[in-house]
Amino acid sequence: MSKTTTELLKELKRQSCSLPDYLSNHKDTFVNEDIKAFWENIIESKNYSKSNIINKADFSYCYFYEVINGRKSPSKDKVVRLALAMKMTVDECQQALKVSGRSALHPKNRRDSILIYAVEQQMTVIQCNNLLSDNGEDELK
């Protein structure tokens, strides 16, 4: 049975915690997802052409391919742009952020709440930027 993040954190904080044992005992809990495989799988599952995603996300071709091949680490805003372009679910967007090494969207953060809403409502990047602007938040970069 896998432990929760809270349980793992408590274990790390214990004085008796041995880092080598911890790393060995919990190697299956670490995020090791292959970024390239993740993006290829999500693109295939959404059944969108790459050029369609590039246009909807307003990315350059070069940048898009660097991201999906794992050569560039996109910002949180860029991941959200891709999520909106591919009509990802909120869970898929959170997973994309996670594998990209970015923090998850948090509902207690005002701007993140707007982004969660936009992803959930399957808005376009332009619609999301309008919503952010209308609510006094920075548009997606």
Neighbours of 7 (CB within 10 A): 10
CB 78 within 8 A of CB 14: no
Q: Which helix (H) or strand (E) segment is 133 a member of?
A: helix 125-134
Tokens matching residue 97? 């952020």
pLDDT of residue 32: 59
pLDDT of residue 31: 64
Neighbours of 109 (CB within 10 A): 13
The model's pLDDT over 80-102, given as tens digits with 9 standing for 90+, comes to 999 999 999 999 999 999 999 89
Q: What is the mean pLDDT of residues 64-79?
A: 95
pLDDT of residue 51: 95
| Rounded (10°) CA dihedral 107, 108, 114, 116 | -10
Which domains, and CATH codes, for the chain? 1-30 (no CATH), 35-134 (1.10.260)
The model's pLDDT over 101-132, given as tens digits with 9 standing for 90+, comes to 899 999 999 999 999 999 999 999 999 999 99
Q: How far apart are the first and last CA of the chain?
A: 40
pLDDT category at 59 given cuts 50, 70, 90 is very high
What's the whole-model pTM score? 0.80
Q: How far is CA 29 from CA 2, 7, 33, in A?
A: 7, 12, 11
